[in-house]
Structure 1
Amino acid sequence: MSELTASTSTESISTEDSPTGITGANILLDHVTKRFPGQARPAVDGLTMEIPAGKIVMLVGPSGCGKTTTLKMINRLIEPTEGRIVVDGDDVTNMNGDTLRRGIGYVIQAGGLFPHMTVATNIGLVPKMLGWDKARIAARVDELLELVSLDPALYRNRYPKELSGGQQQRVGVARALAADPPVLLMDEPFGAVDPITRLRLQDELLNIQEELQKTIVCVTHDFDEAVKLGDWIAIFNEGAQLEQYDTPERILGDPANEFVENFIGSGAGLKQLTLTRVAEVGFGDAVVGNPGEQAADVLARLIDAGHGHAVIVDERHRPIQWLSRRKLGRLNVISNVPDPKLPVVGYRATLNDALDTMLVSSAGAALVTGRRDMFKGVIDVQTVMDAITRSQTAAVLESDQAPVGLNTGVFQAQEPAADADLSETNSNGTDARASQ
């Protein structure tokens, strides 16, 4: 796996691709406490928490519970008062902080871009600090813009003020990934954009994660977002006390205590619909056309297939139009002008997202896209409704044993757990409950 040392000024966290494709690193917060001057209680109190490599871990909880402090201690923007931080088996607590942060991606609201730098300069900042040559940086910039679905030719020389909020956030993610770090920290990354853009950015993150398999730790106030994105969810109470650290399925189906039930709120059954992805329920094929084709030819294929609409894709197989038989009958040649209101949903999107998209579509269906926004098929309302019916009768799914997560701080009511017992804490998959 990766190595992490503290011997030179050019060191960084790095990791080689594993046989399973995971490029992330394990993280362990080992009895970590943070006390701020003038506060009676620690902001984080004796937290021991394992974050598995290649997974997305969502930190949620009420305001002031210590989740952002916990996140920032991983890259030591906030220094822990006590305890150790271990990344890929190496204690980074005493490592040079600047060096550590160059090897960990960090994303905040609105991307945190430098306004006086172009997109390319923003993305290439950390690689430049690490001594990469100009050609390598330029190639990496273009590669990452492609990854976050921004055309390099159009965006590499723009400034942040020339981008929408969603585009700025995409560039922020690209910058965080520039030096190929094993760990990506995200602090309310989608909180400053509108709901539609937020859904698209969430889908984009899932697509990127499927491709890269980094270790992602994300703070959010939105529990629905945590359910959608997280492989594991940590629900914190005051002092970063772990109330439950588990899969979304278990938290929704079997909350650990009253605090978790209240935090989830009403409609837990409906929230379970966010656990099913579009890719899991299947989708149909479509008649596909290209700009420059004769509309009559596309219409003939449409009639032969018995379909009502044809999907027009660009040279990279991204959907740009969805034309009905009537529309095709009025055209001579298919144009290359994209439809800004195209009902598109990512194949990693939830059924809730798909249903929302379809409700505003005149076709009563949505176009499904995969990696790099490539067209994959069509999903309709009936497919979603059938899946909802099945999910309402399904039991809570069995899944992997939960990672270690508990508190052993002085404000805990129970006696601190011994280090030797950590491996047994999660034997029943409800590790955080041991701290109650």
Structure 2
Amino acid sequence: MSESAPTSTPEQLRHAEGITGASILLDKVTKRYPGQAKPAVDGLTLEIPAGKMVMFVGPSGCGKTTTLKMINRLIEPTEGRIVLNGEDVTKKDGDQLRRKIGYVIQAGGLFPHMTVAANIAIVPKMLGWDKERIAARVDELLELVSLDPGVYRNRFPKELSGGQQQRVGVARALAADPPVLLMDEPFGAVDPITRQRLQDELLQIQADLQKTIVCVTHDFDEAVKLGDWIAIFDEGARLVQYDTPERILGDPANEFVENFIGSGAGLKQLTLTRVGDAPLAAAVTGRPGEAAADVLERVKTAGHGHAVIVDARQRPLQWLSRRQLSRLQTISPVLDPKLPVVGSRATLNDALDTMLVSSAGAALVTGRRDAFEGVIDVQTVMAAITKAHEAAAMDSMDAPVGTNTGAIPAAAEPAEPLAAGEGRTGQ
């Protein structure tokens, strides 16, 4: 009789799938503050799957930030357990735990007297990394968040825009390659355009790294755009609904959720599909320094109306019509500040917003390192919306467990005891 093949552990399976995050289980967690009649968090059991992004939303004072901070024990729970990758970390040294969990707050929370590099290097230094390894990691992370290391490494926070500070804050949180990233209103202090770009950047980073990310936000549209799962809380961190964005929009659990979603739930469906999931049209491209007549000839041969001018790194600079090309002799390297560009991880809603300001009635799509990938138009968006609705109707994926009773529903009980690092699933 042949020997059976060795069984892979849940952790080995996660790494094989490219997941670098860790599962989290809040097990009957309660937080009481002296002098308060009701707990801030009351008997919360919440399963957060490894490699997923979970959004905490709810009215002010509902306990979502308290719940977030109990995961890394910035706030100590009064009762219950916090289980990280199968290990109960409730009694573990809090400082040691926090060095293994990234934390991002509003406006980045950078130390103003330290350079960008020094800010990012804080945790690796605490962990005893050598200078060469730290320097390499700093440059790697700056590239990851789309900041040129040569330009930004030695700058101070006051020399950065709000969006750049937030990018450095994310880089710092990822410095020691933690399995878990906690984010508390990370994009709340920036303007709407920068906010969209930071959201897209986070989605791209998550697609590459597959960390476990828990994010508190007051913006339901942001939760729909970013979250694999959304936890909607009421007062006392009472979990009202914990589900996918698609099912929360399509089948809210009760009137509280309906009111929280607000009007325009149909329009919010636009945030459920990424630009990169829609088919993109090809475009004629040109380079600065080329003869405009040559580019125009390629545009006419292809039957297109425009040419996308890209730099040496394939980043779009201009989107020139036939008329514009006919008036030029040589293509300039000037960047058009009004270029209608949207990232591949942006939503169809973002794409439509961008198209509204485009004379071409379409938008240029960029991917990794802002490289041009193709063109998206209104017709493509409408077709993608129809496809998304059909896919959502067929979705039967089980949600992770979320309850305030501390008990697992009978239908969700596993047939066998849970192995370390595994979670229960069910409604």
Is the pair's TM-score, using the shorter chain for normalization, greater than 0.5? yes
Q: Among residues 110, 113, 126, which one is paired with 1:116 in the alignment?
A: 113
Structure 2 unaligned regions, length at least 5: 1-7, 415-422
1:386-405 counterparts in 2 under 5 A?
Answer: 386-389=383-386, 396-405=393-402
Equivalent in the alignment of 2:245? 248
Q: Which residue of 1 aligns with 2:197?
A: 200
TM superposition outliers: structure 1 runs of 4+ over 4 Å: 14-17, 389-395, 418-422, 426-429
* 1:57 pairs with one of 54, 68, 74: 54
Residue aligning to 1:188: 185
Structure 1 match to 2:82: 85
Q: How does 1:15-414 map to 2 (within 5 A)?
A: 18-389=15-386, 396-408=393-405
1:417 aligned partner, one-letter code: A
How far off its partner does 1:396 sit? 2.9
SS at match of 2:67: helix
Partners of 1:15 and 1:182 within 8 A in 2 = no
User: Residues 186 and 383 from structure 1, CA distance in 2 versus in 1: closer, same or farther, beyond 3 angstroms?
Assistant: same
TM-score (norm: length of structure 2): 0.91
Aligned length: 413
2:196, 2:396 → 1: CA distance? 26
Task: Give the partner amino acid of 1:147.
Answer: L
1:112 match: secondary structure: coil
1:160 and 1:15 map into 2 onto residues whose CA distance is: 39
Question: How much identity, in percent, do the aligned residues show?
Answer: 79
Residue 30 of structure 2 aligns to a residue whose secondary structure is strand
CA distance in 1, matches of 2:256, 2:395: 23
In the aligned structure 2, how far is the partner of 1:358 from the partner of 1:246? Answer: 31
Aligned-partner SS, 1:110: coil
Q: Following TM superposition, by how much is the alpha carbon of 1:315 offset from its aligned partner in structure 2, in angstroms?
A: 2.1
CA contact (8 A) 1:299 1:325 kept: yes
- Kept in 2, the 8 Å contact 1:292–1:335? The answer is yes
Q: Provide the C-alpha distance between the structure 2 equivalents of 1:210 and 1:89, rounded to a whole number of angstroms.
A: 24
Asked if structure 2 preserves the Cα contact closer than 8 Å seen for 1:15 and 1:24, the reply is no
Deviations 1:113-158 (A, max 9, x none): 1111111111111111111111111111111111111111111111
Partner-residue secondary structure (3-state), 1:50: strand
Gaps of 5+ in 1: 4-13, 409-415, 432-436
Q: Give yes or no for contact 1:278–1:354 (8 Å, CA) kept in 2.
A: yes
Find the counterpart in structure 2 of residue 417 from structure 1. Answer: 407
TM-score (normalised: structure 1): 0.89
**Residues 275 and 35 of structure 1: is their aligned pair in 2 closer, same or farther, counting only changes over 3 Å?**
same
Mapped to 2, the partners of 1:15 and 1:152 lie a distance apart of 34
Deviation at 1:418, TM superposition (A): 6.2
Distance 2:396 2:94 in 1: 36
Per-residue CA shift, 1:167-209, capped at 9, x if unaligned?
Answer: 1111111111111111000000111111111111111111111
1:427 positional shift: 9.7
Q: CA RMSD in A?
A: 2.4
Shift of 1:280: 2.1
Superposition deviation, residue 260 in structure 1: 1.0
